[in-house]
Amino acid sequence: MKALPALVVDVVAVVVFAILGRSSHDEADTFLGVLGTAWPFLAGAVIGHAVCQVVAGLRGDPTGWRPGLAVWAGTLVLGMLLRVASGDTAAWSFVIVASIVLAVFLLGWRTVLRLIRRARTRSTASV
């Protein structure tokens, strides 16, 4: 169950990615519109999490860098493949922007969490 909070944060990050993308192209931010944009990437993120669970087992830390990279790769690669398979486009410029934004979102919160944990450990050790 340790993976559930990480999955929730990643799902929120992917939904924010979809909302920002739709907003930048002046598309309506309706629930169905956002879901239509986000679903391939959400599926990729869920599959990435599942792969992490199988490989690392239930003892692995889903907030670490390795799981984060696996989730990012799954979200990006599977998301793009599902997007194209469903009849949408994936121009190289979109792939590059999506790569960067998803990396910032999916790896960024893990980095912040790691820095917070490190600061807490240092402050506890110094007391």
| pTM of the model as a whole | 0.89
Q: What is the pLDDT of residues 8-24, one digit of tens each?
A: 999 999 999 999 999 99
pLDDT, position 52: 86
76 close to 99: Cβ distance less than 8 angstroms? yes
Q: What is the pLDDT of residues 66-105, one digit of tens each?
A: 899 999 999 999 999 999 999 998 999 999 999 999 999 9
Cβ-Cβ contacts under 8 Å for 12 (sequence gap 6 or more): none
Per-residue pLDDT for 1 more than 70? Answer: no
pLDDT, position 53: 85
